[in-house]
Chain A
């Protein structure tokens, strides 16, 4: 009986993440009556949308067993470049396309460093994040730009059919990546390279091209996130990417995606982003110091991953025991 429960919990991928999300929602609605107000829930979803976009591309990278630490820096640089272009009277379309191009280029750079030059992803992307955030400072020359065109700002704060625009964009991005991961050969290869890179290589997969594509995806989502960030702030400065810090990684991890690759997926990251945003929101509602926010995030990361690992080893024990029984 006990063993079957353990098995069910560990086999359904997101049950643990969902459980944590439910606990936090229940906890939040007990502590703060204003938590469940429609206006508050919309605020949460809107705040979660940028984090979700940033970490959705990262999820694909983590599924291959890599990591992209340059997401924040790329988002910041893209926001800065787009803002500079728009202030210089370039059309919104040019600015957005230039921003996406920057995302693609940095993603390609990351991909080449990891796949062709065989650098550990952690180091390669950290190096590019240094270079990229340096470039953002150069683009801004220490200034802050504000007052972007109204139609661009609409992307950050506007509404469409009663839904905030950033939320719509987040849903579209996540849906596309979800389908790509679940329904395409590319998606299957991502899981395969993450779970067993040697098997993937021997079966003739073009791992170089795959890895570059994966990092380009992460670059593009980072660029989209950066554009929305600039639009929502109606401003840009060189450090704006740092706002999310390592929360981007935390969202993926809390979502149950394994850092070793091959396990997890987009749905988990949605849950992870929601958990992180609700924690921040709840602390604001209760009036707890924002200094305490990181510790809640840190504790949840450690507890979640420990339970996950414990359950997995339990399942291995149980299945090993059942095998010996049969023989």
Chain B
């Protein structure tokens, strides 16, 4: 019984115990650390990262990486607000920008599956192109347009839960069901774990790869819209770095870059760890100049521990 429990604890993603350590430590050292205001703040700030990380989880499960996530978010943010500014209805503008995101995913999918480029390089290429598009469309500066939708989404509440959190929950449920209850999930895991088995059993490897990149781009698009609501503007480089942060969150959540092991639930904890850490450092009034280094060290420690426990299990 106890041994069983121990084994389960060992299999948990590294983010969980690091979250525990973080909140215990800051709980002792910060006044009024445990309150609902802090919790909602963490969650609201974590939402865009989480939604984007849902897509990245799928891509990493297929042994790829999507480096174009940040750029896709930039593009969607800028498109949405520029379209609204030019008199297009809010919802129509939203749909158009999401369609643009899906097109990006389609492009990534074709380059990776049909032209067989390594995903890192393929998405690095599209990332550069998309950043150009976002910068030229916004002419290099922030675009703004007044609309009540920002406040509704970022501060509105339904059933005592912020709208922004409902969106995150919806994305989580969608990703979880896709990954665990549908054939899509089986194909995704097989793409990373055993590509040949997938081919032999008659699935189209191309189709599966395509779907993964389209899903990732769609999630990046939604994340871009949510981020635009939170910063109430469209910043053509506002989401730079999301591609790396999502990778960090996914890995902290215990998803492996090789062999298709991992889960969306793990990603939730990975995102939470990054965001809790960032928020706690702010609360402690630790100057922002130390924050990047501290978060970097935590990411490294978690990944090292995860890698070494996994290796021990294999032995």
Contacts and interface: CB of A to CB of B under 8 A. Distances in A.
A304 B258 CA distance: 26
Interface residues of A, number: 45
B86 interface: no
A128 B300 CA distance: 8
Contacts of B120: 67, 122, 259
B116 A126 contact: no
B117 A305 contact: yes
A142 B292 CA distance: 14
B292 A302 contact: no
A294 B258 CA distance: 30
Interface string A125-152: 0111111111101100110000000000
Contacts of A289: 136
A288 to B, nearest CB: 10
Nearest to A247: B128
B33 interface: no
Contacts of B289: 134, 137-138, 141-142
Nearest to A299: B129
Interface string B268-302: 00000000000000000000011111111101100
Chain B interface size, under 10 / 10 to 19 / 20 to 34 / 35 or more: 35 or more
Contact of B124 (A131, A246, A309): A246
B299 A127 contact: yes
Contacts of B129: 294-295, 298-299
B291 A131 contact: no
Contacts of A122: 65, 120, 247, 257
Interface string A173-191: 0000000000000000000
Contacts of A123: 247-248, 251, 257, 303
Interface in B75-126: 111, 115-118, 120-122, 124-126
Interface in A272-300: 289, 291-295, 297-299
A87 B291 CA distance: 26
Contacts of B125: 298-299, 301-302, 305
Contacts, number: 132
B244 interface: yes
A208 interface: no
A194 B99 CA distance: 40
Contact of A294 (B128, B248, B257): B128
A118 B311 contact: yes
Interface string A13-49: 0000000000000000000000000000000000000
A117 B307 contact: yes
Nearest to A245: B128
Nearest to A289: B136
Contacts of A250: 124, 128
Contacts of B126: 298, 302
A228 to B, nearest CB: 25
Interface string A105-120: 0000000010001111
Nearest to B311: A118
Contacts of A217: none
A132 B120 CA distance: 23
Most A CB contacts (10 A, CB to CB) among B125, B131, B257, B291 go to B125
A91 B196 CA distance: 61
Interface string B122-148: 101111110111011001100000000
B308 interface: yes
Contact of B293 (A119, A124, A131, A302): A131
Nearest to B296: A130
Contacts of B311: 118
A236 interface: no
Interface in B205-257: 244, 247-248, 251, 257
B24 interface: no
Given A249-B124, A297-B128, A298-B126, A127 B300 contact: yes
B7 interface: no
Given A118-B307, A291-B140, A309 B132 contact: no
Contact of B295 (A124, A128, A130, A305): A130
B304 interface: yes
17 contacts: A113-B304, A117-B307, A117-B308, A119-B307, A123-B248, A127-B299, A129-B296, A130-B292, A132-B296, A295-B133, A298-B126, A299-B129, A301-B124, A302-B115, A302-B117, A302-B126, A305-B121
Interface of A: 67, 113, 117-120, 122-124, 126-135, 137-138, 141-142, 246, 249-250, 253, 259-260, 289, 291-295, 297-299, 301-302, 305-306, 309-310, 313
- Report the 9 A-B pairs with minimum CB-CB distance, sorted nearest first: A134-B293, A130-B296, A298-B128, A295-B132, A134-B292, A291-B135, A302-B125, A131-B296, A127-B300
